[in-house]
Structure formats: C-alpha cells, structure tokens
Amino acid sequence: MLVWVVALHCEAKPVIDHYGLKKSASHHAFDVYQKDNMHCIISGIGKTAVAAATAWIAGLNRHQGSIAWINLGTAGSSAHTLGTILSIFKISDSESDRNFYPVPIFDSALEPAHCLTLSQPSTDYQLDQIYDMEASAFFDAATRFSSAELVHCLKIISDTPAQKIGHDKARISELIGQHIVELASFAQSLEELNDQVARLEINQSDWEKILGCAHFTRTQQSRVSKSLRFLFSQQRQTRALIAEVTKLQSAELVIAHLENLCHQQTQTL
C-alpha cells in the first residue's frame, strides 16, 4: 500500500486527479481519497495535524503487510526557483533540533534537499535549506509504522524572496501538477520497493525466539518487525542479528538496539 499525506486539498488535487482517487464516504476524521492499494489523506497544516493524520491512517491500515509513504507539499526557499521539485534527504526540526534522514530512492532523478520544519511561517530563508511546516512530524510518525526506506518527503517550491504564492490555491495545484510525471515515477519506484519489503519474511522460529526474550505489546511487536524487515533488506546476517537481540532483557532494549542499527544503516546509504 502507498499512502500520500498532504496538508491541503490544492496540493493533493494533481495526485487525486492523476490516479482517479475517490473520496471515502466512510471516514470522517480526515478527508481520505482512495483507489485500489493507494490512499491520499488531507491532514491540514502543521506538525500536530500531520502527525495525527499519519497515525490515524496507519491504524486504519494496520492489516497491511507493509505501507509506503509520501509526504507531498510546498516549501519556501531562497536557493531554488519557483516550481522546483525536491526530494528531501535530511529533515531538521526547528523546535526540537532533531534530525531525520530519509533513505534515498536510488533510481530517482529528483534533486535532493535539506528541509527545516518550522512551527510558524517564516521568510527568513537560509541558502542551504528549504522550509516547510510538516516534514519532521510526518517522518517521525510514519517511521513508527514503516521502515525509513519507505518514508519520503517531496516538496515543490511555492515561495521565494521574489515570489510568494502560498495562498493561491489554483497556482499551487498548477505548480505541483506540472511535476505529475516525476511524482508518479517516484511513487512507482517506491511501490516496487514496498512490494520487496513486504515479501521479506521473518522465520517463525526466529520470531518466537525474539518474542520469548521479553514481553512485547502489539505496538512493540510491530516496531520490531519493521526494523527486522529493513535490516534483512540490507543483507544483515540473520543468525548474528537474532543472537544479538535475544541477549537483551527487555522489549525497550530490543527496540532501541534494532532501531539504532537501522539508523546506522541509513547513514551509509
């Protein structure tokens, strides 16, 4: 399954139109558009809204073997021209100073960028960053349900020191729509990767060994499974990894160890 998480309807419109997504009549917490194995959820602006929407739709699709995610939206920049499309390789949160590192899609031709997520709008742009209001919270929330290589942010520049169209809904749709071919190509690559991850099976005997070393809640089991799938996809040695994990004495230690290994792996990609 692929989920697009988008703050505004005008930002989502090109994706909805391209894929022929239909609005769900059964969901009311957020507007959700869907077709086959794809959802697009409209979160609203800001970190709190996007985190809530991401967690809500993840819960709605908890039966899925694996979920891939794209946060699509607009951003401000002083170093890029209006309408430039960017793939985010580093996300920094202005409040917490936390950094997040999406794993690049290797066959993507999109220009990479470092995104600073703000809590309030700003035009005090620095040359080495673009600015948005959702990416850090989205990434933090989505990686609780899927491994980092399946969670991505794509941003289109809508505001520069010379041009600001942030409130022009029709123009925003136009700027995003002109990149629908690149967006669809990126989404296809991500869906193919998601299919590969979904097929990575955890041996039942190994799974029982891990669950036997501590008490895991269902949420904790999901986090362990997510991390193991990613590490297996990176050709980690199964026997050695299981041996490391089963020496640990609590669910928290197991999760911390696995997620730290995942983080270390993403730094080498």
Burial class (CB in 10 A: 0-12, 13-18, 19+), 82: middle
**Domain definitions of the chain by residue range:** 2-197, 201-267
What is the rounded distance in angstroms from the CA atom of residue 236 to the CA atom of residue 60? 31
Burial class (CB in 10 A: 0-12, 13-18, 19+), 99: exposed
* β-bridge mates for residue 23, sequence order: 33
Helices (H), 34-74: 47-60
Burial class (CB in 10 A: 0-12, 13-18, 19+), 111: exposed
pLDDT tens-digit series, residues 235-261: 677 788 888 888 888 999 999 998 888
pLDDT tens-digit series, residues 13-51: 999 999 999 999 887 899 999 999 999 999 999 999 999
> Taking a C-beta distance cutoff of 8 angstroms, is the pair 112, 104 a contact?
yes
pTM: 0.80
Q: Does the CA dihedral 75-78-80-81 come out positive or negative?
A: positive
Q: Specify the pLDDT at position 265.
A: 74
Top CATH class, 2-197 = alpha beta
What is the rounded distance in angstroms from the CA atom of residue 202 to the CA atom of residue 193? 17
Q: Specify the pLDDT at position 269.
A: 55
Q: Specify the pLDDT at position 74.
A: 97
Structure token digits, residue 89: 């390789």
pLDDT tens-digit series, residues 115-132: 999 999 887 888 889 999
Q: Which residue has the higher pLDDT, 219 or 118?
A: 118
106 has pLDDT over 70:
no
Q: Specify the pLDDT at position 235.
A: 66
Collapsed DSSP state (helix, strand, coil) of residue 267? helix
Report percent pLDDT > 90 for the chain.
Answer: 57
